[in-house]
Amino acid sequence: MIDISATMSTPLSPRITDNGLQKHCASLHAADSLPPSKKRRLSDEEPFEALSPVDVARSMLSNVKQGLRTKPSYSISDTDLDGYTMEKVTAIRNKDVAKLRSMLTDDAASFKACNRNGETLLHLACRRGGVDVVKFLIDEASVSPNVVDGLGRSVLHDVCWKSTADVVLMKTLISRISPELLVAEDIRGHTPFDYARREHWAEWNVFLAESKDCIRSRLEPDSDALYMIA
């Protein structure tokens, strides 16, 4: 079982307009919001495209507690391990949705699987499988997208880790995942966008600006939320 405990601060902050987003982001105190290796001071003159998407995401989700950290559990069951088969891994890497669908039975629990490091089939799909595979796992195999691996990394960490800015996949996930995970840190203190390459910052910032209404509308109103592999 892998779970995440997320605590949110109380009221929502005022909405940030498109024109005010750059100014708001630039006014953030980076030393308080970034991991030690990422600390830097933002300038009011810094162009929007040069801002770290970590700061842009945090400004949009400013009601979410800073330092929100995922908390993985290491009680991985034999059932979890048994479901993580080479046949499924190969089909995911080959983006073979038809093959995966042929393995789907009335009991889809076998797809809610992970390896000994807590990495789920969905983590692998986000890194290697593509949009259609991810949609299959979430929409047909009923795999929860709100999962983390043994290092506390959500599937969003895997998306941002990729060698390209896979905005299409991120859009697919953001309509299905808890948006708080955009700013949730792994056990090393890094959010998903901390793993994004510098040359991808502009693309991620455009995605965040275009998706802000969808992201904010899906925030949990409750002060506490729990996500897990069922």
pLDDT band at 229 (very low <50, low <70, confident <90, very high): very low
**DSSP one-letter string for 73-88:** -----HHHHHH--HHH
- SS in 3 state form for 2-69? CEEEEECCCCCCCCCCHHHHHHHHHCCCHHHHCCHHHCCCCCCCCCHHHCCHHHHHHHHCCCCCCCCE
Q: How many Cα atoms within 13 Å fall on the side-chain side of residue 182?
A: 33
> What is the pLDDT at residue 106?
59
The single-letter code of the amino acid at 40 is R
Q: Is the pLDDT of residue 38 over 60?
A: no
Pick from 42-46, 103-107, 205-209: least confident: 42-46
Q: 93-118 as b/e, with b when 16 or more CB fall inside 10 Å?
A: eeeebeebeeeeeeeeebbbbbbeeb
Domains of the chain: 1-230 (1.25.40.20)
Q: Tokens 């995970």 identify what position?
A: 181
Query: How many degrees, rounded to 5, is the angle at CA 140 between CA 136 and CA 146?
Result: 75
The single-letter code of the amino acid at 78 is D
pLDDT per residue as tens digits for the range 52-70:
999 999 998 888 877 777 7
> What is the pLDDT at residue 53?
95
Question: Percent of the chain beyond pLDDT 70?
Answer: 70
Rounded to two decimals, what is the model's pTM?
A: 0.75
Report d(CA 110, CA 89) in Å as an integer.
Answer: 13
> What is the pLDDT at residue 35?
45
Q: Is the pLDDT of residue 19 over 60?
A: no
Is residue 62 within 8 Å of residue 8, measured between CB atoms?
A: no
